């Protein structure tokens, strides 16, 4: 009895050893040239494959390693597993239960490969049930994406049944699922950095919408960033042109970390509230920023503007002092953005010391222009100084306007000291006072 048991165990061990060693005992390397030639003809691009083996456990599958596609290696795959549906090999159409690719690198130019594929005769259809991509790196000149995974479930004719995308750090999850004649899209993010444009960090972001043809409608966008909230919607279309439009409402956003995230000195502090509509169109996604149009009112509460002390309006002709700053309770106005051109209209700044209003323009090279009327608080604008803006956003300069100089001269001739103040107010009225009340 004992000998029989030992013989049985030895037989089982031998069988297991054979199964484990099978991938190395079945040489598939002779098939590599034929397979790469076939793939190259189908894709219209050179395909290379360094290693090919057959695995029998835990399920039969073919494994390829070190695969490249394209004349410039636009697609590189560290390991590719193809797991067939064994029953389909006996009867019925051929089916692949799973294709799994890991350590995948895709260059932005890879999207041109399908357009160059030769149109040959359709062969016997092969049904792929599931495609999994892990540790995917997308190399793009304008996008900075972290590693991500994709899980795609397919139906007849390679039609998508469900697609899931998740970054390796779990900061972003996207679910795409067909619903009727459209496709539902859901995005959830936590501590996620925008991959394009301004590298803003969202503490949380939730977006839901529908994808239909060459258009995406995100009817609901809610987010939390820099201590504030975002509510909005967006629509995108792509065809002969790329179109993007939408609305956004911000409330309570801390401006200091926003400026730091944009790589700019934090000259303006406070909490931002804004309500803006935006739109843009371009031939390519990279050109959308150049054609951006944005309009809407804004308000900043409880802040400080570093670099200029508007309370010293009467001394603006002198040198600026280190540490100059203007503390305000409220700063409001209307933002108009046209590409790189910015206008701040209907500006009104209030503090315990001063009330200032006017209009400011910022050119593409950061050059400042415009005028401000600066009045001593609680005088009804009677004692005020109109000033002209110059310099740049990094080094702004303020100088008394011509109207101020004319008014001050008239006031001084009429009545010293008090007359100068009266004349200054007159100078503001010569050039037109602001609407800041």
pLDDT in tens, 329-368: 999 999 999 988 999 999 999 988 888 889 999 998 989 8
8 Å CB contact between 414 and 426? no
CA–CA gap between residue 388 and residue 368 (Å, rounded):
10
Q: Does position 164 have pLDDT exceeding 70, yes or no? A: yes
What's the confidence (pLDDT) of residue 26?
59
Q: How far is CA 374 from CA 12, 191, 246, 299, 422, in A?
A: 94, 42, 36, 19, 14
Q: Which two tokens stand for residue 340?
A: 């790189």
| Calpha distance 10→362 (Å, rounded) | 84
pLDDT at 401 (0 to 100): 62
Residue 385 has pLDDT above 80, yes or no: no
pLDDT band at 430 (very low <50, low <70, confident <90, very high): very low
- pLDDT, residue 167, reads 95
Phi, psi of 88 (to 5 degrees): -70, -20
The pLDDT tens digits for 389-406 are: 888 887 877 777 654 444
Confidence of residue 298 (pLDDT cuts 50, 70, 90): very high
What does the mean pLDDT of the chain come to?
81
Q: What is the pLDDT of residue 425?
A: 45
pLDDT computed for residue 140 by the predictor: 84
Q: Is the pLDDT of residue 255 over 80?
A: yes
Model-wide pTM > 0.75? yes
- 203-217 pLDDT, tens digit each: 999 999 999 989 999
pLDDT-based confidence at residue 277 (cuts at 50, 70, 90): very high
**What is the pLDDT at residue 289?**
84
> What are all long-range contacts of 303-308, with beta carbons under 8 Å and residues at least 24 apart?
303/255, 303/268, 303/269, 303/270, 303/271, 303/327, 303/328, 303/331, 304/268, 304/269, 304/270, 304/328, 305/267, 305/268, 305/331, 306/265, 306/266, 306/267, 306/268, 307/267, 307/395, 307/396, 308/396, 308/398
pLDDT top residue among 126 and 11 = 126
Highest mean pLDDT among 8-17, 57-66, 71-80: 71-80
Q: Is the pLDDT of residue 384 over 70?
A: no
Residue 12 has pLDDT above 90, yes or no: no
Question: Residues of the chain with pLDDT > 70: what percent?
Answer: 78
**Quick one: pLDDT band at residue 137, thresholds 50, 70, 90?**
very high
Burial of 333 (0-12, 13-18, 19+ CB in 10 A): buried
pLDDT for the residue 435: 60
> SS3 of 89, please?
helix
Q: Which comes out higher in pLDDT, residue 91 or 71? A: 71
Assess whether the previous peptide bond of 154 is cis (omega < 30° from 0).
no
Q: Name the residue with higher pLDDT: 323 or 12.
A: 323
What value does the mean pLDDT take over residues 225-248?
94
**E runs forming strands in 213-351:** 215-225, 228-238, 242-254, 271-282, 293-306, 325-338, 341-350
């Amino acid at each position: 009895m004992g000998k029989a048991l030992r013989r049985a165990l030895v037989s089982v061990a031998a069988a297991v050893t054979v199964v484990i060693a099978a991938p190395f005992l079945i040489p598939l390397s002779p098939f590599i040239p034929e397979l790469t030639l076939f793939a190259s003809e189908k894709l219209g691009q050179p395909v290379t494959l360094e290693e090919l083996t057959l695995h029998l456990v835990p399920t039969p599958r073919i494994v390829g390693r070190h695969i490249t596609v394209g004349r410039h290696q636009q697609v590189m795959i560290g390991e590719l597993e193809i797991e067939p549906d064994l029953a389909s090999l006996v009867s019925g159409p051929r089916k692949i239960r799973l294709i799994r690719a890991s350590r995948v690198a895709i260059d932005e130019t890879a999207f041109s490969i399908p357009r160059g594929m030769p149109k040959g005769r359709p062969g016997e259809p092969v049904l792929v049930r599931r495609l999994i991509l892990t540790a995917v790196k997308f190399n793009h000149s304008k996008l900075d994406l972290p590693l991500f995974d994709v899980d795609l479930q397919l139906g007849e004719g390679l039609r998508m049944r469900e697609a899931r995308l998740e970054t390796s750090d779990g900061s972003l999850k996207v679910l795409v699922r067909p619903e009727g004649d459209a496709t539902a899209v859901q995005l959830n993010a936590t501590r996620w950095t925008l991959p394009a444009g301004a590298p803003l960090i969202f503490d949380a972001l939730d977006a839901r919408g529908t994808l239909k043809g060459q258009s995406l409608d995100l009817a609901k966008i809610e987010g939390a960033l820099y201590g504030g909230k975002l509510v909005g919607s967006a629509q995108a279309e792509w065809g002969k042109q790329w179109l993007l439009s939408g609305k956004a409402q911000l409330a309570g956003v801390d401006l200091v970390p926003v400026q730091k995230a944009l790589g700019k000195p934090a000259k303006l502090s406070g909490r931002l509230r804004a309500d803006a509509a935006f739109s843009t169109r371009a031939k390519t996604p990279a050109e959308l920023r150049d054609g951006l149009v944005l309009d809407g009112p804004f308000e900043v509460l409880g802040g400080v503007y570093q670099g200029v002390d508007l309370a010293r309006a009467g001394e603006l002709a002198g040198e600026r002092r280190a540490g100059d700053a203007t503390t305000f309770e409220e700063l409001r106005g209307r933002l108009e953005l046209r590409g790189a051109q910015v206008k701040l209209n209907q500006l009104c700044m209030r503090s315990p010391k001063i009330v200032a209003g006017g209009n400011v323009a910022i050119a593409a090279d950061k050059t400042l222009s415009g005028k401000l009327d600066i009045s001593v608080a609680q005088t009804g604008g009677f004692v005020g100084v109109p000033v002209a803006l110059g310099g740049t956003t990094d080094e702004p300069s303020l100088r008394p306007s011509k109207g101020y100089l004319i008014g001050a001269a008239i006031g001084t001739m009429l009545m010293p000291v008090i007359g100068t103040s009266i004349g200054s107010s007159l100078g503001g009225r010569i050039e037109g006072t602001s609407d800041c009340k």
